[in-house]
Amino acid sequence: MNHAPGPRPAPPPGQLWRHARLASFQPGTPWGWVEDAALWVEGGQLRWVGPDAELPPAVDGHRPTLQEIDLLGALVTPGLIDAHTHLVYGGDRAAEFEQRLQGASYEDIARAGGGIRSTVAATRAASDEALFQAAAVRARALMAEGVTTVEIKSGYGLTEADEARCLAVARRLGRELPLGVRTTSLAAHALPPEYAGQPDAYIDAAIAWLAGQQRAGLVDAVDAFCETIGFTPTQTERLFHAAQALGLPVKLHAEQLSDQGGAALAARFGALSCDHLEHLSPAGIAAMAQAGTVALLLPGAYYFLRETKLPPVAALRAAGVPIAIATDHNPGSSPCLSLLLMLNMACTLFRLTPEEAWRGVTVNAARALGLHDRGRLAAGLRADFVVWNAEHPRELAYRYGHNPCRRVVQGGQEVAR
Ligand code: NIG
Ligand code: FE
């Protein structure tokens, strides 16, 4: 795919997509299934969605300007949403992968000053343009599988200027690619070398940067890495108070490597999501259920770090906690650029049903980002959808290493492929 920079042209007059097998993820029926569906797209939005045989009479008045597309029974789903990525960074960690294969743990490497901090050094050394070009290649790989919205975290700059640079690169991706982008400030990702031994002073600095990031329109949410190799619950709480004072929603890397009580803490702040959660306790589950916080599971990181402790999926399900799935794309724990592969891994590794996995990259992923205009296909929502060379979405959770994406529509416009 090639996309020229600059403003996108105005949406075309309108389209009528007919004879789709539709997984709308509207409530009421499994998959929000409509066997023979039509979608009327106008001005970047869905004007009407339903059984083809029940097209509203109003559509007739628009026929002269509507482009009609017969899908001949192809599957249509919402555009996929990757609700947790670290897409903007310099360098790679292939050598660290080799070290881990020889027995070093992710935590050992982090404590020795490698891990996230080695990516911080490479990110600081990279130009804005190099960061943008590398991230655009990654974004296009996700988009090639039908991703239409992506969340992108900072967290590899760890100075005021470098964090702002990374967030600005993420915003630029949203302007120059046909892709919805939500940005998250993750300055509390690791302790930078300048603050060695002074984590509280670093948290004070990260708090001080937030208002400027918000004024510059660079941040939609605030995240932290609450972990023995990250920040303590008390430090996380101070950051969250600052986010709350600015009206910014929070989310948390919680209970990935140990139980820090981070999920319950984040839930007290009404967190959009708690992410990873392999070591989540029953108390954490109860707090998330009460707050309506999404459990964002990351099977790519679980797999790549060769974890053995599974997130408590059955208990999350029983408590009614919404579950989402994402790539967690990052150079250290999940260098994965396939959300379709995550569908398969969520089923095989975490025992989600194919429908739960799909909800995790559509309706619940939108919820994890606080977005109400996407993740389902219904009148009044964004026209973000994918046409697949498949008949049913369960096929996409079943095959892996296979990309049957045929056409992608984002904001009512077909994405060039
Ligand atoms: O989501 N856990 C913290 N952050 C990332 C990994 C970052 C890195 O290793 O570079 C994660 O797994
Ligand atoms: Fe992450």
Are the beta carbons of 153 and 386 closer than 8 angstroms?
A: no
What is the side-by-side order of every strand in the sheet holding 221-226?
80-82, 147-153, 180-188, 221-226, 252-254, 273-276, 294-297, 323-325
Centre of ligand 1 to C-alpha 283, Å, is 24
Pocket probe for ligand 1: among 84, 109, 116, 117, the residue whose CB has the most ligand atoms within 8 Å is 116
Domains and CATH numbers, the chain: 15-78+376-414 (2.30.40.10), 80-368 (3.20.20.140)
333 lines ligand 1 (CB under 6 A): yes
Q: What is the pLDDT of residues 216-239, one digit of tens each?
A: 999 999 999 999 999 999 999 999
Residues, the chain = 417
Percent of the chain at pLDDT above 70? 97
116 lines ligand 1 (CB under 6 A): yes
45-51 and 273-276 strand pairing: unpaired
Residue 3 has a pLDDT of 46
Residue 270 has a pLDDT of 98
Phi and psi angles of residue 386, each rounded to the nearest 5 degrees, phi first: -130, 135
Crossing angle of helices 160-176 and 116-125, rounded to 10°: 70
Tokens, residue 164 = 């702002």
262 lines ligand 1 (CB under 6 A): no
301 lines ligand 1 (CB under 6 A): yes
Q: What whole-number distance in Å separates Cα of residue 173 and Cα of residue 50?
A: 33
Centre of ligand 2 to C-alpha 12, Å, is 37
Which residue(s) pair with 252 in the sheet?
Answer: 274
- In this prediction, residue 7 has a pLDDT band, given cuts at 50, 70 and 90, of low
Centre of ligand 2 to C-alpha 154, Å, is 10
Which residue(s) pair with 82 in the sheet?
Answer: 150
- Mean pLDDT for 255-284 is 98
154 lines ligand 1 (CB under 6 A): no
